[in-house]
Chains A and B, each alone.
Chain A
Amino acid sequence: MAVTARQFMPFLQFRWTIFESSAIANSYRRFEPEAALFWKENNEQYFDQVFDVAIISCTLHYLTEPQTLLNFLSTKSRYLLIMRLPLVDDPEDIPTIQRPSDGIYATVNAQWPAWFLSRSRFDDCLKEVGDVIFRWTTPTEIWQFEGEPIMLEGVLLKTKVDSGWVNSRDIIEIGSSDSRMVSSEHSTSR
């Protein structure tokens, strides 16, 4: 993603930090000089600054408690860019095991827990972390679940950081395509 951003948005500079599992971060760190990327472990202690945007792509539904990460990142980034999320019109989140059928993951028989997230619960979660700027679906990425096609979705939010809602440092110290737009909400901070 960083290569694409740098290629097509040359008028901007990007300081791009990838937060990954410790195993991946430690393994990939060797690529930092050539990639102009930084790898860090998923740990609150490494979020030592406020970012302009936190990109959460194809990740939330693999966490035991997705809202925990959203709540944290909403205090550490001005915008949240959530991409490639499987939402279902079900009142409850649905736990599954995901098994890739081809590609690199299939070759090592990889499998892992994954949620199909309840749209209504996810929308309630979003209200806690910021204001939706716009949402979209990704027609090029469709998963099949129990015979139904689930088109992955995305959303861009403005968080409470710098909006006058909260002081993020205080919170941490206390507690510490074919894109197709489908809806649009207000974009200004409160």
Chain B
Amino acid sequence: MAMSRSETFFRKANWEQAQNESQGYEATELVAALTARAELERPWAQVKDNPYLQGREIELLNALQTIALLSGNSQTLDVADVGGVTDIWQ
């Protein structure tokens, strides 16, 4: 989940209270807004002109390069990008 840079956090007594007092991750309005933004980002595979990478992108490249080196002669990496935030794992 991509995050806004400005966040506010409110401590709760327990996880159940935090769940009960918030909308959660699959609110209809949120999914619609994210989908609309995805439309604006098309085409998805477009290479950026800006050469300045974000910190998280540099960290990603560092880690993937390390994995590639440790994996020897592998020319393909199978990536599972686990971005979802639901309780289906529980």
Contact = CB atoms under 8 A, between A and B. Distances in A.
Interface of A: 1-9, 11-25, 27-28, 31, 34-37, 41-44, 47, 49-59, 62-65, 68-69, 72-73, 76-79, 81, 83-84, 94-116, 133-134, 136, 138-141, 143-146, 154, 156, 158, 177-179, 187
Contact of A42 (B70, B75, B88): B88
A177 B65 CA distance: 16
A179 B62 CA distance: 9
Contacts of B61: 4-5, 8-9
A58 B59 contact: no
Contacts of B24: 112-113
Contact of B22 (A97, A136, A145): A97
Q: Is the interface of B mostly helix, strand, loop or mixed?
A: mixed
Contacts of A115: 15
Contacts, number: 300
A86 B25 CA distance: 18
A14 B61 CA distance: 13
Contact of A68 (B4, B37, B71, B89): B89
B18 A97 contact: yes
Given A3-B48, A114-B9, A95 B81 contact: no
A184 to B, nearest CB: 11
Interface in B52-86: 53-68, 70-71, 74-86
Contact of B1 (A58, A95, A108): A58
A43 B87 CA distance: 10
Enumerate the 8 nearest inter-chain pairs by beta-carbon distance, A residue then B residue, closest first: A177-B55, A113-B18, A35-B44, A103-B4, A140-B55, A62-B85, A42-B84, A100-B4
Contacts of B4: 100-106
Interface of B: 1-15, 17-19, 21-27, 29-35, 37-38, 42-48, 53-68, 70-71, 74-90
Given A4-B61, A83-B60, A53 B44 contact: no
Given A4-B57, A177-B59, A27 B78 contact: no
Contacts of A50: 78
Contacts of B10: 96-97, 99
Given A15-B78, A101-B8, A187-B70, A31 B38 contact: yes
15 contacts: A1-B57, A24-B31, A31-B38, A43-B88, A59-B84, A63-B85, A81-B63, A81-B67, A96-B18, A102-B5, A113-B22, A136-B59, A139-B55, A145-B9, A179-B55
B59 A52 contact: no
